[in-house]
Amino acid sequence: MTRVALREVTKVYDTGVRALDGVTLDLPEGRLTAVMGPSGSGKSTLMQCAAGLDTPTSGTVTIGGTEISHLSEAARTKLRRERIGFVFQSYNLLPSLDLRDNITLPLRLAGRTADPARLTRLAARVGLADRLGHRPAELSGGQQQRAAIIRALIADPDVVFADEPTGALDLRSAAEVLDLLRELVDELGQTVLMVTHDPNAAARADQALVMADGRVVDAIEAPTADRLARNLTLLSGA
Ligand SMILES: Nc1ncnc2c1ncn2[C@@H]1O[C@H](COP(=O)(O)OP(=O)(O)OP(=O)(O)O)[C@@H](O)[C@H]1O
């Protein structure tokens, strides 16, 4: 089943920049899809449109069977809270809240309560079971990112969007976060879209989409870091 589908999605900003130019793609369930491409190729815009954070100029976006372009802003916000998990490069944890409250915040904003058993299970899985009462500043970057990943998963979303999730981490913490994302896909059947500049990160994906000038110019199954690095060098004209 397709969790997210884009059909001929074009985004032209007010400045006249055509950031997306007729993008059609499907994010199949239970797969990790990476998006790569040179700076300015449209990766962030793609994620924003696919996640309902921004509206395309034309084309359609369907999330979990719901076509979102005709939804009101309030309805899109509700859909994002209920069906989408987000992971950002900068973790986006609130400093004044402990991990438990950070992780359950999106659910509480949606007027729901977290299942304590699910929270405990997820925290144990990522090695944070004894840290739930700690504030973000008391944790390493890798631990904060793992907490952010649980926050993304707590509502059992249709899809998780991860924007440069390893961008701020050292090699070892980055590897742990990538292992975790792989586990979510392989063991929980999660659907993940990850934007990354790092060919080694993208090589952990089932498929890598390569963007250039607002289009998906390549879709590589079981990508290797070497192949992706070569591909990007060619596109950057280096
Ligand atoms: N809010 C905006 N208003 C106007 N133009 C924008 C806006 N956001 C992005 N752009 C332009 O759209 C194009 C695609 O930008 P986007 O941020 O999607 O690329 P990217 O591949 O994510 O880049 P990077 O790797 O540098 O983050 C660029 O030319 C950018 O300058």
What contacts 193, CB < 8 A, 6 or more positions away? 4, 27, 33, 34, 35, 47, 50, 159, 160, 161, 162
Residues 185-229: pLDDT tens digits? Answer: 999 999 999 999 999 999 999 999 999 999 999 999 999 999 999
Asked whether residue 84 is assigned to any structural domain, the reply reads yes
Contact 134, 169 (CB under 8 A): no
Three-class SS state of 182: helix
Kindly give the distance from the C-alpha atom of residue 16 to the centroid of ligand 1, in angstroms, as a whole number: 12
The DSSP-derived string for 116-180 is: HHHHHHHHHHTT-GGGTTS-GGGS-HHHHHHHHHHHHHTT--SEEEEESTTTTS-HHHHHHHHHH
Please indicate whether residue 157, judged by its CB atom, sits closer than 6 Å to ligand 1: no
Rounded-to-integer distance, Cα 225 and Cα 199, Å: 5
Nearest to 49 by CA among 21, 28, 78: 21
Asked whether residue 11 is assigned to any structural domain, the reply reads no
For ligand 1, what atom is nearest to the CA of residue 37?
A: 21
Asked whether residue 13 is assigned to any structural domain, the reply reads no
Three-class SS state of 213: coil
Asked whether residue 1 is assigned to any structural domain, the reply reads no
Please indicate whether residue 16, judged by its CB atom, sits closer than 6 Å to ligand 1: no
Please indicate whether residue 207, judged by its CB atom, sits closer than 6 Å to ligand 1: no
Give the torsion through C-alpha atoms of 233, 31, 27, 81, to 10 deg.
-110
Asked whether residue 7 is assigned to any structural domain, the reply reads no
Kindly give the distance from the C-alpha atom of residue 18 to the centroid of ligand 1, in angstroms, as a whole number: 9
Which pLDDT value is given to residue 238? 53
Please indicate whether residue 40, judged by its CB atom, sits closer than 6 Å to ligand 1: yes
Which pLDDT value is given to residue 114? 87
For ligand 1, what atom is nearest to the CA of residue 11?
A: 12
Contact 86, 194 (CB under 8 A): no
Q: Give the residue numbers spanning the domain of 228.
A: 29-39+70-205+218-235
> What residues in the chain have per-residue pLDDT under 70?
237-238
Asked whether residue 210 is assigned to any structural domain, the reply reads no
Kindly give the distance from the C-alpha atom of residue 197 to the centroid of ligand 1, in angstroms, as a whole number: 14
CATH number of the domain bearing residue 177:
3.40.50.300
Asked whether residue 101 is assigned to any structural domain, the reply reads yes
Question: Phi and psi for 26 in degrees, rounded to 5?
Answer: -125, 135
ipTM of the complex: 0.97
Looking at this protein, which amino acid is placed at residue 92?
N
Contact 43, 217 (CB under 8 A): no
Please indicate whether residue 42, judged by its CB atom, sits closer than 6 Å to ligand 1: yes
End-to-end CA distance of the chain: 39
The DSSP-derived string for 99-121 is: HHHHHHHHHHHTT----HHHHHH
Asked whether residue 223 is assigned to any structural domain, the reply reads yes
Give the torsion through C-alpha atoms of 51, 3, 179, 222, to 10 deg.
-110
In this prediction the pTM is 0.93
For ligand 1, what atom is nearest to the CA of residue 46?
A: 18
When divided into structural domains, the chain yields a total of 1
Which H, E and C letters describe 79-95, residue by residue? HHHHHEEEEECCCCCCC
